[in-house]
Structure 1
Amino acid sequence: MPKVSVYNLLLEMIKHEENFGAYWIYLALKKGYLQKEDDPKRIYDVPFTEEEIAEIKAMNERDVLGINRIKLYATSISDAKYALYFARTPYDAQMLHSNIYGSKPTKWHSIYNQHKYTSILHNETNEEIYLFMLKERIKEFPYYIGEVVVENSASGVTV
């Protein structure tokens, strides 16, 4: 079993799209506050300033590590039904949608941050899987996930 290190933790955070933690470790390594081989518990001892915290947030916004290149997009195909796609851009999703449905909707919703921990029943494998895990398995993008029905309820919208 490999020794757990700050670097291993960084790779796991990138894999599981834990952006703030990944950028925290990345900047701490870059500034020399941590070394790759350090025990992960040392991340709590990093003396970041307010300016460095702002730098972490800015790196996250710019997606410096390329953590969020593939997004989850949805477009309406009827009153309560949406088609879901993994794609780099809304345009990529639109072109795939056009091939599947024969139309090019112009209204797209980026919903990955709200639904990466949502589980779906995947038709191809007949398994319940979280969207972030499904994204990890896909080799080629854009990718058509399928259709979902959105129901209005007293507690809000459910998928």
Structure 2
Amino acid sequence: MGRKTVYTLLLEMIKYEQNFGAYWIYLALKKGYLQKEDDPSRIYEVPFTDEEIAEIREMNQRDVLGINRIKLYATSVSPTQYALYFAQTPYDAQMLHASIYGTKPTKWHSIYNQHKYTSIYHKETDEEIYMFVLKERVKEFPYYIGEVAVENVEEKSLVN
């Protein structure tokens, strides 16, 4: 494996959806505080102002680097079961759901930020897998993940 650089660290942060760190490096490169070939330890030396930190947060909110284009959506299929989908929009998930279940639910929950480090048993691959790893493996979206049981119906939190 090649030498670790600021640029390879940026790519890893994008891949593993470490948004704040990715935007930190991106802005530092853009402003000339860092160069692509710098040692990654240099990221701690970047003299960002409060305004620049606000700019990082704003870029993250707008998803400038396209880190979070695919989201995890859930919709209820029974009082204790939810169908899960990777999709760009709730509409994309809704259309796939309609082709699988024959209905078009209108209530969708965007749950990726809360559950990207949640592991599930995935029948298709016969393995326990983290959501962010499964998302990386999927080649075509929208994608039906399957159903999960809700442990506490009153809180409607997805737990596996």
Per the shorter chain, which TM-score range?
over 0.9
Q: Structure 1's 87 and 18: CA in aligned 2 closer, same or farther, altered over 3 A?
A: same
CA contact (8 A) 2:17 2:68 kept: yes
CA contact (8 A) 2:75 2:83 kept: yes
Describe the superposition over 1:101-156 as per-residue Cα deviations: whole angstroms up to 9, x where unpaired: 00000000000000000001110111111000000000000000000000119x99
Match of 1:53 in 2: 53
Match of 2:92 in 1: 92
Residues 1:117 and 2:117 are matched in the alignment: yes
Deviation of residue 158 (structure 1)?
A: 5.2
Deviation of residue 157 (structure 1)?
A: 4.0
Which ranges of structure 2 fall in alignment gaps of 5 or more residues? none
Question: Normalising by structure 1, what TM-score?
Answer: 0.97
**After TM superposition, what 4+ stretches of structure 1 lie above 6 angstroms from structure 2?**
none
Describe the superposition over 1:6-33 as per-residue Cα deviations: whole angstroms up to 9, x where unpaired: 0000000000000000000000000000
Which ranges of structure 1 fall in alignment gaps of 5 or more residues? none
Aligned length: 159
Structure 1 vs Structure 2 CA RMSD: 1.6
Q: Structure 1's 15 and 34: CA in aligned 2 closer, same or farther, altered over 3 A?
A: same
Q: Aligned partners of 2:49 and 2:143: how far apart in 1? A: 41
Q: Aligned partners of 1:151 and 1:128: how far apart in 2? A: 18
Q: Aligned partners of 1:88 and 1:61: how far apart in 2? A: 16
- Which residue identity lines up with residue 59 of structure 1 in the other structure? M
2:96 is paired with a residue whose SS is helix
